[in-house]
Amino acid sequence: MRIGIDAHAAEADGSGNATYIRGIIKGLLDAEPPYEFVLYVTDQSHPFYRILPGLGARVILRELRPRTPLLRIPVSLALAASRDALDVLHVQYIAPPVHRGRLVATIHDLGFLRVPSTFSRSFVKRSRVLVRRTAKRADRVITGSAFSREDLIAEYGLDPKKVSVIPYGIGPEFLAAAGASEREAARVLGRLGIEKPYILSVGRLNPRKNLPALARAFDRLKKATGLPYRLVLAGPADYRTKETLEAVSRAAPDVIVAGLVPDRDLPILYREAEIFVYPSLFEGGGLPALEAMAAGTPVIASKTSSLPEMVGEAGILVDPESVDDIARALVRLATDPDLRRTLQEKGRSRARKMTWENAARATLRVYEEAARPEARPRKSSS
């Protein structure tokens, strides 16, 4: 079987889509299934591709031009997938409008519908049409949470049998961070210009992440306890980042905007934080919360969308719309070392069960199901 994967998102450092597709690709190749993989990329010199086993043998990199998705997906990807005679094509969110082979689509969430003000108008308009079309045309749809599965089925009227929940994995480097030396940790924090103690939030600097509310809650923590915490915000710039950070700076002092943190430093950044806070307004997965748990950092997360499902009893869940609720959770964790230790243990235990190897094996089964003759007939166009 020949499997094509639209892998361009692997090049978007710091994004959840990049973490996902990197984890799936590496997990698939490490499993060494008897299949050939064609990875459709936009920059084959990206460091991620250099570490992949089997390049040039069972793994082919196919660089597509132009890089703009407006032409790459409907034209370049469609033509390349046809020439490569794929058995299955795997995409995230949006597929080519014409594809004669079997189609698997990963749709993490419907944030562009549920919180549209946190995305550009052009992105929302495009996604409303193309994600719906992809979801309906796909032979199988993958998502990372039961919450997103139910949302997809309800929104698009999908056959529940074709929508699979495959939980996300966590890279082993986050679990391994617990064993890093204090000297190594000091070097990492020195490179980043961060001093302890600090409270951490990781994610794109986007209004959906609810960072101004977090800053206001952090300010209340400082005033209530007098503890010398800093708030560290790590993640790449995104839609309306400038306005978001201006609101943050008005809300609280002692905020450090670390920006995009290199992959090599991120596990230590998590581990050294006293508390990790993820008060996002809407998430289909919430990978940063899982990574923080793996690194042994107690987590506060929203009690909405998929986050209760991700965090379970290994964290404190709060109303993201309530600054009071976030602040109470911060004060509670900051002043209760026993609770912090309990959540650290629960978080690590939960995280150990979530690996990219497991996610890749489940994804491979979906490919095999999609390729079976009894799968529904494919159409050449929508």
Same structural domain for residues 329 and 361?
Answer: no
Same structural domain for residues 146 and 180?
Answer: no
Same structural domain for residues 197 and 279?
Answer: yes
Same structural domain for residues 21 and 63?
Answer: yes
Same structural domain for residues 119 and 232?
Answer: no
pLDDT tens sequence across 128-140:
999 999 999 999 9
Q: Average the pLDDT over 262-289 and give the result.
A: 97
Residue 314 pLDDT greater than 50, yes or no: yes
Count of domains observed in the chain: 2
How confident is residue 178, by pLDDT bands cut at 50, 70 and 90?
confident
pLDDT tens sequence across 210-268:
999 999 999 999 999 999 999 999 999 999 999 999 999 999 999 999 999 999 999 99
Q: Average the pLDDT over 151-161 and give the result.
A: 98
Report the alpha-carbon distance of residue 2 to residue 213 in Å, rounded. Answer: 47
378: in domain: no
Same structural domain for residues 159 and 178?
Answer: no
Same structural domain for residues 344 and 361?
Answer: no
177: in domain: yes
Q: Write the CB contacts of 186 (distance below 8 Å, at least 6 apart in sequence).
A: none
Beta bridge partners of 233: 201, 257
381: in domain: no
Write down the pTM of the prediction.
0.95
Same structural domain for residues 42 and 177?
Answer: no
Place of tokens 């597709």: 21
Closest CA to 10 of 22, 27, 2: 22
Same structural domain for residues 90 and 211?
Answer: no
pLDDT at 55: 81
Q: What is the CATH number of the domain that holds 28?
A: 3.40.50.2000
Residue 378 pLDDT greater than 80, yes or no: no
Same structural domain for residues 324 and 181?
Answer: yes
Same structural domain for residues 198 and 87?
Answer: no
The domain of 244 spans 172-351
